[in-house]
Structure formats: C-alpha cells, structure tokens
Structure 1
Amino acid sequence: MRPGPTGRDYRQALISLCLLAGLGWALIFWSLSNMSSPLVALTMPADSFWSVREIVAVWLMWAVMMGAMMLPSALPILAVHRKIARHRDPATPGASRWFVAGYLMGWALFSAAAAAAQWGLQQAGILSHMLRLESPAVSAAILIFAGAFQFTSLKTACLNKCRTPMGFILTEWRPGRSGAFRMGISHGKYCIGCCWALMLVLFVGGVMNLTVIAVLTTIVLAEKVLPRGDITARIGGLVLILWGLALII
C-alpha cells in the first residue's frame, strides 16, 4: 500500500475545498441576508405552481447548500486522490478537480430530489414560506426516521467508505479525467447514502435556518473525520430520536 497523503497534499486540498466551500457559504449568507431579493424569492415559491425559473432556482439553492455542507468532509478523500494521482496518473493534470466535479455532480442529482421533496411538502400545505415544516407529527416522523437510520447497516457501510479514503481510492481507481470524474460520482454515491436522511432534518429546523445548516455540517464532518465517527453517528441518531419523541409528547 502506498504511503498516505503528505502535508503538501492536505494543504493543496484544503485550499481548493476552502475556496469552493467558501463560495457556497458566501452564497448562503448572502441569501439569508437578502431575503427580499427577487433572486432569493425564486427559491421560496409562494405556492406549489412553480414556474421554470422557480424550479431551476430551488434546485440551484439545494445544490449550492449541499456543496457547501459536504465539501469540508471531502478533504481526506481529495488529499488521498491528489497523492495517488500524482504517482499513478501523472499524464492527467488536474485529475482531482475532475474528482471533485464528479462528487458535486452526485449531490447535484440529490438536490433535484430534495427540490422535489420541497415541492411535495408545499403541495401538501405543511411547509411554511421559510421552508420549515408546520406539522409536528410529520416533523417527529422525519426526526425519528433520520435518527433510526443512523443505526442501520446501510449507514454503517456507507460511512465506512467515507472514513477510509485510501481503501476507496485503491479499490475504485480509474485513470484519466473521465475516470476521476466517475470516481467522484462513485464516492458521492456513498456520501449520499451516508447523509441523505440527515438532510431531511433541514425541513424540520428550516431550510433557510443558518444554525441548522451549520449544525448538520458539523455532524457530517465529525462522523467522517473523528477517530470514532461511528459512535458520533449513533449519538446523533439518539438525539434525533429523542427530539422526535419530544415533539410527539
């Protein structure tokens, strides 16, 4: 097995991800600070009869938010990919950029599903204009479901893939730009499988709630990079279940 990524790899990966994630967070801050802007208004349609512009705006909002939330936890896998690509695929400059592009493509596809969920909840009349669930029963169900998912074998399997970047790179390696792009999509698939239920909690706390966004980002990061992220995941699951039960009570 090749040695792990060097400090230089981590620094370069960190700079790259900070720029991308920083852009995403800047857009989130701007949106929350300019709620009266016509552009922001497009992401919060007044009814369920969405125009094409509103569909695109809602999808972009979710895509930007997912990128900002997930990129920090992608630092280990990007650093490893840069290290391995430099040795195994020196003829493909910038391969890691294509890896990140594939990773973000996966979350962009998930964002389409999230936008559809937003429309469905709005169609049901249980989503406020600030994109927060107004039904305690539905909120409790989502919290308990998301909490229970943290204890499932699917969660564990996907989390293990996210927590072992070297193993993923060595077993899933593909050369060239298209290969790096497909690897990014593949890793994004595991990341989505690990975190999709947690993202549902955004509807409970409020999709436009910065505190909720920041807390979920921290949980995802802790699960993937802390020494015992599996325990962190289960603790988070227990908290969500208790929160859901409290809403019922």
Structure 2
Amino acid sequence: AGLGRTALPAATGTAVAAAVFAVSGLYQLTPLKDRCLARCRSPIGLMLRYASYPRTSRDLRAGAHHGAFCLGCCWSLMVLLAAFGVMNLWAMVALTAVITAEKLAPAGHRIARVVGFASLALAVAVFWFPALAPGLTGGGMAGM
C-alpha cells in the first residue's frame, strides 16, 4: 500500500470506522463517562482524599487515580483519531477543543452528549461517505 492508503479493504475499513464511531458515541452517553467527567472536572475531592496519606505514596496514588478518571473520560474521543487519521491536524484540534469544552465549560456534560450523538450519526453516515474516516478508509482514495 502506498503512502496515504490504508491496508484494509474499503468495505472492511468502512465497517471498522462505523464500529469506532458507534463505540465512541455509545460510551459518550454512559453513566461511566458522566462519572469520569465529573471527577476529571473537579479533582479537589480527590486531592482531599489523599491529603492524609504518607508523602511517599500520596502523590503516586493521587496521580494514578486522577489519571484513571481522565483516561475514562477521554479514551472514547482519542479512539476517534484512528478513524480520522492519527496525524490529522484538524482532527487533533477539534478533539482537543471538545475535550477542553467537556472539562471546563459549565455545560460540559451536555457537550459530551452532543458529541456522543454526533459520533453515532457518523457511524451511520460513514457507509455513504467513507471519506469521513480517512484513517481507516483511505480518505475515499482506496478502491470501493
């Protein structure tokens, strides 16, 4: 396969892209995403929880705990980079904006829901417009 082309056959790439969009969209709508987002948005409770731990383990435990919640908050958005293209600058900028808005905007939970529904819509739309997932479909350049 040449540069810019995917190793997956077009139909397989499209099906994988739809699955990636669907899994990401569904996760964005789960209570687990809400819980992780709430913890990531307000880490002060976590810091207070670990304040009484001995210094040698406190920082490592607090960092690992907070990191796990942030991973739970953002993994579904990061997996979208597989569909959009890992080195797609515009996808990186857009997903960074979404993650920042989810974590900092007062309506962060609603933003997560909108992104979830948009991702589900992309899961359906990618069958008609494979170029929506250039990272998996070759950007519409691969044979259909």
TM-score of the superposed pair, with normalisation by structure 1 = 0.45
Which residue number in structure 2 is paired with residue 126 of structure 1? 8
Within-5 A mapping of 1:70-81: none
Number of the residue aligned with 2:110: 231
Q: Does 1:199 align with 2:78?
A: yes
Q: Does 1:160 align with 2:38?
A: yes
Higher relative contact order (CA 8 A, sep 6+): 2
The residue that corresponds to 1:107 in the other structure is none
Residue 136 of structure 2: aligned partner = none
Q: Deviations over 1:58-77 (max 9, x none)?
A: xxxxxxxxxxxxxxxxxxxx
Quick one: which amino acid aligns to residue 34 of structure 2? T
Q: What's 1:209 paired with? A: 88
Partner of 2:133: none
CA distance in 1, matches of 2:82, 2:120: 16
Residue 171 of structure 1 pairs with residue 49 of structure 2: yes
- Cα distance in 1 for partners of 2:91, 2:54 equals 39
Q: Tell me if the contact between 2:37 and 2:103 (Cα under 8 Å) persists in the aligned partners.
A: yes
Which of the numbers 5, 16, 19 marks the counterpart of 1:138?
A: 16
Query: Given residue 235 of structure 1, which amino acid in structure 2 is its aligned partner?
Result: V
d(CA) in 2 for partners of 1:175, 1:228: 37
Describe the SS at the equivalent of 2:126. helix
- Among residues 108, 113, 122, which one is paired with 1:243 in the alignment? 122
Pair 1:150-2:31 in alignment: no
AA of the residue aligned to 1:149: Y
Where in structure 1 are there 5+ consecutive unaligned residues? 1-45, 47-121, 128-133
2: CA distance between counterparts of 1:245 and 1:175?
A: 51
Q: Does 1:183 align with 2:62?
A: yes
> Structure 2: which 5+ runs fail to align?
129-144
Distance in 2 (CA, whole Å) between partners of 1:209 and 1:126 is 18
- Counterparts of 1:150 and 1:197 in 2: how far apart (Å)? 7
What SS does structure 2 have at the residue aligned with 1:248?
coil
| Equivalent residues, number | 121
